[in-house]
Amino acid sequence: MNTTEQSRAGVEVRMEGLRRSYGPVVALDGVDLTVKPGELVALLGPSGCGKTTTLRLLAGLEDADAGSITVGGKDITHLPASRRDMGMVFQAYSLFPHMTVRQNVAFGLRLRRIARQRRDQRAMEMLQLVDLTAQADRYPHQLSGGQQQRVALARALAIEPQVLLLDEPLSALDAKVRAQLRDQIRRIQLEVGITTLFVTHDQEEALAIADRVGVMRDGRIEQLASPTEVYSRPSTPFVAEFVGLTNRLAGTVADGTVTVRGRALPLVDPATRPGPAIALVRPEAVTLAREAGSGPLTGTVIASTFLGATSRVTVDLGDTTILAQIPTADAVAHPAGSRVTLTIRPDPVLVAQDPPA
Amino acid sequence: MAALSPIAAERAAAAVTSVPRGARGGMRGRRRARLNLFRYVTFALFGAFFLMPLWAMVRFSLEGSRLGTWSVAAWSQIASYPGLLGAIEITLELAVLTSGVMLLLLLPTMIWVRLRVRRFTRALEFLCLLPLTIPAIVLVVGLSPIYNRIERFNVSALMLFWAYVILALPYAYRALAAGLNSIDVTTLAEAARSLGAGWGTVMARVIAPNMWQAILNALLLTVALVLGEFTIAYNLTYTNLQVALYAISRNTENAGVLFSASAASLLFAFALLMIISIVGRRRRGRA
Ligand SMILES: Nc1ncnc2c1ncn2[C@@H]1O[C@H](COP(=O)(O)OP(=O)(O)OP(=O)(O)O)[C@@H](O)[C@H]1O
Ligand SMILES: [Mg+2]
């Protein structure tokens, strides 16, 4: 039987009103999250916002103060970690140093008293999945960081868990290995069809890998939506600023639009209160052209960062600076020091307002 | 092919990091040589300092009837000297019993405190180091009423192991704490638990195997302590190896046996040390 190739139907994971405090620190302040069967949800947020805590509660490594966790319709809130049937990959290297790669992967199967032959076969299948069959008889300290995390993934998947939990598994790796391993994790996840929660503080990683992204802040989920929606229609200023770079431009809200430097932009939320506000404008929505007269959107290029196909250009408008992300081919036409006029694409924007006095 | 590329990337990285060797400058070479000479000289001096008395002891135990001659008579008497063999036996049994009980008590407790109730770490440490601050003779004062009472049941000297566990506690604690600190206990335990391991499995199959060196060190210290213990046994009127040796020493005719038995116990401790360091090295080489 080849379990790795047969697609398993994932289960639904439902968290309701999860709370957890450490003394005076409220790590989770009522988290509601439903992960659909076979879905990959990325939890994204700044350091200390409670991502790891969410995962640890789900894994049973920590007890919730309040709230419930249901997996596949079964309440597991009070089940000990060892009986939860969840595969977890940790941020720190967590392979058992005294066991070979193969023994590590087979460990969970040994605990389940699976016959030796079946166990070894399954371990090798898992290692095949992460391309590490050649390293099966090595010890963890003989592997690179990326290889160790792949073994950890194989070990977590070997027990055919209902849910896969990944806590920043790539954060200790360099950028290139990181991107490759990220794609590999996604490919395996789709292949196995397992419901997965992936924690990261890297927004690029979250947007690239997830079916849906949950942006967390101070122990709550601020927005849960598809990567495109989180990026292009952030529900709060915090999400807008955390996911991708954002220009903060002073403007005035009136009649369902916000006027920024003489330009009217549509609002994401038409119900926004009229009055002064800060509009959050994506660098991709800003384009450059050679100076055409003078106006509130004319300024001087002061820096240009090459990002590959696109470049990020910083323009000084006198009273503020603004970032524009444009194709590199266009950016070279405007070297530092040249005068340019900006255009802001009329995408719906979000505004940050002072609370009503 | 995306799946293969991480491996290729890692191979390339490995190739870059292998640093060329062999180029050692003359200046540096000479300095190294001088440093090495210094090391050998100090090593030899200190070695002599430690080994001379031992050598003198061995030489004395091999002294024949006339000065300057050799004889194994003192060594062959170890077995036949009244009471000596029994004392050696009881001491070895005590060593095994003490280290076993010590390990069974201390290791799970320490792992448990580390994993579940970290705030008790200080308290446990204090408790374990306490015997170090109490002189053995004071311990005797406290222990003697207890032993007087159990003596009525005619128990053997093996009962000393209770006292010895207490005596060895600080040393074993230190050794095991060093081992615990050298591994990421929390992560390993959590990984094992998420794979379905209960607490017992976590301790026996995940944590303990990664602390072999520390466990062996704790055992060695415990055994060495038991082999050399005199005060408590003597004052509680039990006969262990050291008490037996003391009795022999009262009788100067048999000084040879005294020294041969001392040398034998020393050799035993030394052999144990060798075994432990070899086993430790083999484990490290493998792991
Ligand atoms: N064992 C603990 N004892 C006390 N406070 C804790 C503990 N674990 C977490 N916290 C606190 O709970 C909050 C949330 O922590 P958590 O580890 O979930 O953050 P995170 O989102 O994973 O951050 P990071 O991206 O840095 O890993 C933090 O303020 C943290 O200080
Ligand atoms: Mg974390």
**Residue A190 contacts B, CB cutoff 8 Å:** no
Local structure of B164: helix, strand or coil: helix
> How far is residue B176's CA from residue B186's CA, in Å, rounded to a whole number?
16
What's the length of chain B? Answer: 287
Residue A181: count of CB within 10 angstroms of its CB: 22
- Contact between A194 and A38 (Cβ < 8 Å): yes
Backbone angles phi, psi at B13, to 5 degrees: -60, -40
Chain A residues whose beta carbon lies within 8 Å of the beta carbon of residue B197 = 82, 107, 111
The pair of three-digit structure tokens given for residue B151, joined into one six-digit string: 């003596």
Q: Which ranges in chain B are annotated with CATH 1.10.3720.10?
A: 80-286
pLDDT (mean) for B146-173: 82
Apex CA A86: angle with CA B189 and CA A211, to 5°?
Answer: 130
- Contact between A313 and A331 (Cβ < 8 Å): yes
Give pLDDT, residue B77. Answer: 78
pLDDT tens sequence across B152-163: 666 677 788 888
pLDDT at residue A45 tops 60? yes
Q: Which residue of B has its CA nearest to A178?
A: B6
Contacts of A346-349 spanning 24+ positions with Cβ under 8 A: A346/A264, A346/A265, A346/A266, A347/A232, A347/A265, A347/A266, A347/A282, A347/A285, A348/A233, A348/A265, A348/A266, A348/A267, A348/A268, A349/A258, A349/A265, A349/A266, A349/A267, A349/A268, A349/A279, A349/A280, A349/A281, A349/A285
> Which residue(s) pair with A315 in the sheet?
A301, A322
Least confident of A112-126, B68-82, B97-111, B210-224: B68-82
- Contact between A10 and A37 (Cβ < 8 Å): yes
The mean predicted confidence, pLDDT, of chain B is 80
Question: Are residues B2 and A184, on separate chains, in Cβ contact within 8 Å?
Answer: yes
- Superfamily for domain range B80-286: MetI-like (1.10.3720.10)
pLDDT tens sequence across A265-321: 888 878 778 888 888 888 888 988 887 777 888 889 988 888 888 888 999 888 888
| Residue A55 alpha carbon, nearest atom of ligand 1 | 18
How sure is the predictor about B137, in pLDDT bands with cuts at 50, 70 and 90? Answer: confident
Q: Is the dihedral of CA B82, B88, B93, B99 positive or negative?
A: positive
Instruction: Tell me the count of A-B CB pairs closer than 8 A.
Output: 96
What would you measure as the largest C-alpha separation in chain A, in angstroms?
Answer: 80
Give pLDDT, residue A6. Answer: 40
Residue A68 Cα, ligand 2 centroid: separation in angstroms?
21
Local structure of B63: helix, strand or coil: strand
**Residue B183 contacts A, CB cutoff 8 Å:** yes
Residue whose CA is at the smallest distance from ligand 1 atom 3: A22
Residue A65 Cα, ligand 2 centroid: separation in angstroms?
19
Give pLDDT, residue B15. Answer: 39
CA neighbor of A164 nearest in space, from A218, A87, A98, A94: A87
* Higher local confidence (pLDDT), B269 or A338: A338
Q: How far is B277 from chain A (nearest CA, A)?
A: 18
> Which residue(s) pair with A322 in the sheet?
A315
**Residue A59 contacts B, CB cutoff 8 Å:** yes
3-state SS, chain A, equals CCCCCCCCCCCCEEEEEEEEEECCEEEEEEEEEEECCCCEEEEECCCCCCHHHHHHHHHCCCCCCEEEEEECCEECCCCCHHHCCEEEECCCCCCCCCCCHHHHHHHHHHHCCCCHHHHHHHHHHHHHHCCCHHHCCCCHHHCCHHHHHHHHHHHHHHCCCCEEEEECCCCCCCHHHHHHHHHHHHHHHHHHCCEEEEEECCHHHHHHHCCEEEEEECCEEEEEECHHHHHHCCCCHHHHHHCCCCEEEEEEEECCEEEECCEEEEECCCCCCCEEEEEEECHHHEEEEECCCCCCCEEEEEEEEECCCEEEEEEECCCCEEEEEEEHHHHCCCCCCCEEEEEECCCCEEEECCCCC
pLDDT at residue B3 tops 70? no
> How far is residue A278's CA from residue A271's CA, in Å, rounded to a whole number?
15
- Contact between A318 and A291 (Cβ < 8 Å): no
> How far is residue A152's CA from residue A159's CA, in Å, rounded to a whole number?
12
pLDDT > 90 in chain A, percent? 47
Q: Which residue of B has its CA nearest to A188?
A: B3
The mean predicted confidence, pLDDT, of chain A is 88
Residue B252: count of CB within 10 angstroms of its CB: 8
Chain A residues whose beta carbon lies within 8 Å of the beta carbon of residue B13 = 144
Question: Are residues A92 and B187, on separate chains, in Cβ contact within 8 Å?
Answer: yes
> How far is residue A88's CA from residue A51's CA, in Å, rounded to a whole number?
14
Question: Are residues B192 and A107, on separate chains, in Cβ contact within 8 Å?
Answer: yes
Pocket of ligand 1 (CB under 6 A): A 22, 25, 27, 45, 47-53, 201
pLDDT (mean) for A111-125: 92
pLDDT at residue A5 tops 70? no
CA neighbor of A90 nearest in space, from A65, A59, A62: A59
Q: Which residue of A has its CA nearest to B284?
A: A98
**Residue B190 contacts A, CB cutoff 8 Å:** yes
- A22, A83, A180, A181, best to mutate vs chain B, most B CBs in 10 Å: A180
The DSSP call for residue B196 is: T
pLDDT (mean) for B173-193: 93
Could you give the count of Cα atoms lying within 13 Å of A202 in the half-sphere of its Cβ?
16
**Residue B188 contacts A, CB cutoff 8 Å:** yes
- B11, B194, B215, best to mutate vs chain A, most A CBs in 10 Å: B194
Which residues make Cβ contacts (< 8 Å) with residue B206, sequence separation at least 6?
A96, B188, B189, B192, B197
Amino acid at site A23: G
3-state SS, B11-56, equals HHHHHHHCCCCCCCCHHHHHHHHHHHHHHHHHHHHHHHHHHHHHHH
Could you give the count of Cα atoms lying within 13 Å of B187 in the half-sphere of its Cβ?
15
- A58, A76, A82, best to mutate vs chain B, most B CBs in 10 Å: A82
Question: Are residues A94 and B2, on separate chains, in Cβ contact within 8 Å?
Answer: no
Q: Ligand 1, from A29, A51, A56, A200: best to mutate by most atoms within 8 Å of Cβ?
A: A51
Give pLDDT, residue A2. Answer: 42
- Contact between B273 and B259 (Cβ < 8 Å): no
Burial class of A179 by CB neighbour count within 10 A (0 to 12, 13 to 18, 19+) = middle
pLDDT (mean) for A225-252: 85
pLDDT at residue B16 tops 70? no
pLDDT at residue B135 tops 70? yes
Give pLDDT, residue A106. Answer: 95
Give pLDDT, residue B23. Answer: 44
Q: Is the dihedral of CA A115, A121, A127, A132 positive or negative?
A: positive
pLDDT (mean) for B35-48: 91
* Higher local confidence (pLDDT), A8 or B6: A8
> How far is residue B171's CA from residue A134's CA, in Å, rounded to a whole number?
43
pLDDT (mean) for A47-57: 93
Dihedral through CA B174, CA B176, CA B181, CA B184, nearest 10?
-170
> How far is residue B78's CA from residue B11's CA, in Å, rounded to a whole number?
63
- Contact between B94 and B164 (Cβ < 8 Å): yes
Q: Residues of A numbered 164-183 whose beta carbons fall under 8 angstroms of chain B's beta carbons: which are they?
A: 165, 176-177, 180-181, 183
How sure is the predictor about A79, in pLDDT bands with cuts at 50, 70 and 90? Answer: very high
| Residue A28 alpha carbon, nearest atom of ligand 1 | 14
Question: Are residues B188 and A156, on separate chains, in Cβ contact within 8 Å?
Answer: no
> How far is residue A24's CA from residue A132's CA, in Å, rounded to a whole number?
45
Give pLDDT, residue B282. Answer: 66
Q: Which residue of A has its CA nearest to B185?
A: A94
**Residue B193 contacts A, CB cutoff 8 Å:** yes
Which CA distances in Å does A105 have to A256, B92, B204, B262?
58, 42, 18, 51
Residue whose CA is at the smallest distance from ligand 1 atom 13: A27
